[in-house]
Amino acid sequence: MATFELELVSPEKLLLSRPVEMVIIPAAEGDMGVLPGHVPMIVTLRGGVISVRENGQETERMFVRGGFAEVGPTRVTVLADTAVPVANLSRAEAERLIETAERDYQAAAANDTPEKREAAMNHLLAMRAMKDAAQAA
Amino acid sequence: MASLKALRTRINSVKSTRKITQAMKMVAAAKLRRAQAQAEAARPYAERMQRMLASLGASVTGNPDAPRLLVGTGADKVHLLVVVTADRGLAGPFNTNVGRFARARIRALEAEGKTVKILSVGRKGAAYLKREFASRFVGEITFAGKKRVGFEEAQDITARVSAMFEAGEFDVCALVYNRFRNVISQTPVEQRLIPAPLPEVAPAEGPAPIYEYEPSEEEILAQILPQNLAIQVYRALLDSAAGEQGSRMTAMDNATRNAGDMINKLTLNYNRTRQANITRELIEIISGAEAL
């Protein structure tokens, strides 16, 4: 089957760089499956799981907190804020993060601008997605 | 001439100094390797970010509603300098170089009638610049006690800078830090952060792909710019960390060598003195015996 080059980088390291058949990206406006020959796009990510398929099977699952993805003619580059293999996620950690995120959101909801409130909400949603991913793993 | 006992203590003290500098050199070498590896690991992200930014930025320049992080406030009155130094000393000229460079910049800007504000990162630079420019300080950040700087630290700094920018506290922001060239050479440089300079990207082979954006270009840009800021700061922190270790390694290598030279000199002196004492005693005995 046809493949394309996938690069997954976080600020701290290059996590993945190899040809794959398909990748599912948690874009801000909904999950997006990318196959070879996809139309060039630049999208933002929400918190969620990136899933990579090779040889007809799902080979990698990475949780990302947010970031950007560039779908080029021959290459897909994902710039993740943080990326963790789903297997390494811990549910307890996620719950703790949800708690702080909820508190931040309450604080933001009370006295910040709508943009800040939205940022806090997105963060909270990302943390919830992390918990779900941890639970599923 | 110093007494034998004094020389002995002196030799011993220089020997223990040499042990310490040698150990510090070794530690710095190990840390340098780690810092370099970290800087290496951060490069792919930064490069791809620049590429993406270039393709986005080209489409909004000239647009009056372009994000302020990209075009600035339109004024050029208040400058914020983020000065990155180490938290620890004994690193040769590392900290003083940045300090001196920053001081020259501040003087030059003030001579042009601009207002300068300083945000210092790292204890040493803060101490250096405070002597002269304490009134310009708006903040100090240190990572003392942290084992390594991560991306989160860079994000903290960026958050502070952006908050100040949104509050209209400055017009132009620049980073001053030591760029790591190689182990023995680090040069202080100034790098502008806000307004963000658009990266020049060599035209790729073939026509550039026309991207679709989701959500809109403006929204992506509004998210990517702060992230880019954090990345620039992160790179500067890593460069500075690697430079610090490199500089310390060179400094400690020199110190170890100097201590060795000094020990040789002192030992020679010690042996001579000892021999002189023996000769003198012998002469005393012999001339005493002859006098009888």
What are the residue boundaries of the structural domains of chain A, listed by start? 4-86, 89-136
Nearest CA in chain B to A9: B45
Distances (CA, A) of A53 to A32, A67, B16: 13, 21, 60
Assign 3-state DSSP to chain A and report helix, strand, coil percentages, each to 5.
35, 40, 25
Nearest CA in chain B to A74: B209
Instruction: Note whether B214 contacts A73, CB cutoff 8 Å.
Output: no
More confident residue, B144 or B267: B267
Nearest CA in chain B to A66: B223
- The per-residue pLDDT for range B275-284, each reduced to its tens digit, is 999 999 999 9
The CB-side HSE value for A63 (13 A sphere, CA atoms) comes to: 23
Cβ neighbours of residue B163 closer than 8 Å, sequence gap 6 or more: none
More confident residue, A105 or A50: A50
Instruction: Note whether B44 contacts A14, CB cutoff 8 Å.
Output: yes
Question: Using N-to-C axis directions, what is the helix angle for A91-111 and A114-136, rounded to 10°?
Answer: 170
Instruction: Identify the pLDDT of residue B20.
Output: 95
Among 3.40.1380.10, 3.40.50.300, 3.10.105.10, 2.40.50.140, name the CATH number for the domain at B41-198+214-247: 3.40.1380.10
Average pLDDT (B208-216) is: 76
- Asked whether B59 and B95 are in contact (CB, 8 A), the reply is no
Instruction: Identify the pLDDT of residue A133.
Output: 76
What count of other Cβ atoms lies within 10 Å of the Cβ of residue B22?
16
Instruction: Identify the pLDDT of residue B208.
Output: 61
- Measured in whole angstroms, how far is the alpha carbon of residue A6 from the centre of its chain? 14
Beta strands at A48-54 and A57-64: parallel, antiparallel or unpaired: antiparallel
Q: How far apart are CA A45 and CA B214, in angstroms?
A: 10
Residue B201 has pLDDT above 60, yes or no: no
Identify the H or E element spanning A126.
helix A114-136
Exposure string (b/e) for A31-47, b if CB count within 10 Å is 16 or more? ebebebebeebbbbbbb
Task: Return the CATH architecture of domain A4-86.
Answer: Sandwich (2.60)
**What is chain B's Cα-based Rg?**
28
- The per-residue pLDDT for range B25-48, each reduced to its tens digit, is 999 999 999 999 988 888 888 888
Instruction: Identify the pLDDT of residue A131.
Output: 78
Per DSSP, helices labelled H in chain B are 4-60, 68-71, 94-111, 123-133, 151-166, 217-291
Percent of chain B predicted with pLDDT > 90: 41
- The per-residue pLDDT for range A17-27, each reduced to its tens digit, is 889 999 999 98
Instruction: Identify the pLDDT of residue A34.
Output: 92
Average pLDDT (B85-109) is: 90
Reported ipTM: 0.77
Instruction: Identify the pLDDT of residue B15.
Output: 96
Residue in A4, A8, A14, A38 to test binding to B, most B beta-carbons within 10 Å: A14
Cβ neighbours of residue B271 closer than 8 Å, sequence gap 6 or more: none
Place of tokens 């790292």: B122
- The per-residue pLDDT for range B71-90, each reduced to its tens digit, is 777 778 899 999 999 888 88
Residue A78 has pLDDT above 60, yes or no: yes
Q: How far apart are CA A41 and CA A21, in angstroms?
A: 18
Q: How far apart are CA A48 and CA A130, in angstroms?
A: 7
Q: Which of A28, A39, A68 sits opposite B212 (nearest CB)?
A: A39
Residue B249 has pLDDT above 70, yes or no: yes
Average pLDDT (B213-229) is: 82
Instruction: Identify the pLDDT of residue B207.
Output: 56
Peptide bond just before B44 cis, omega within 30 deg: no
Instruction: Identify the pLDDT of residue B30.
Output: 94
Residue B11 has pLDDT above 80, yes or no: yes
What does the domain layout of chain B look like in residue ranges? 41-198+214-247
Percent of chain A predicted with pLDDT > 70: 98
Instruction: Note whether A11 contacts B219, CB cutoff 8 Å.
Output: no
- The per-residue pLDDT for range B111-134, each reduced to its tens digit, is 998 999 999 998 888 888 888 888
Q: Which of B98, B83, B221, B74 is nearest to B161 (CA)?
A: B83
Question: Using N-to-C axis directions, what is the helix angle for B151-166 and B217-291, rounded to 10°?
Answer: 120
Instruction: Identify the pLDDT of residue B60.
Output: 65
Instruction: Note whether A42 contacts B220, CB cutoff 8 Å.
Output: yes
Average pLDDT (B86-114) is: 90
User: What's the pLDDT band for A135 if we cut at 50, 70, 90?
Assistant: confident
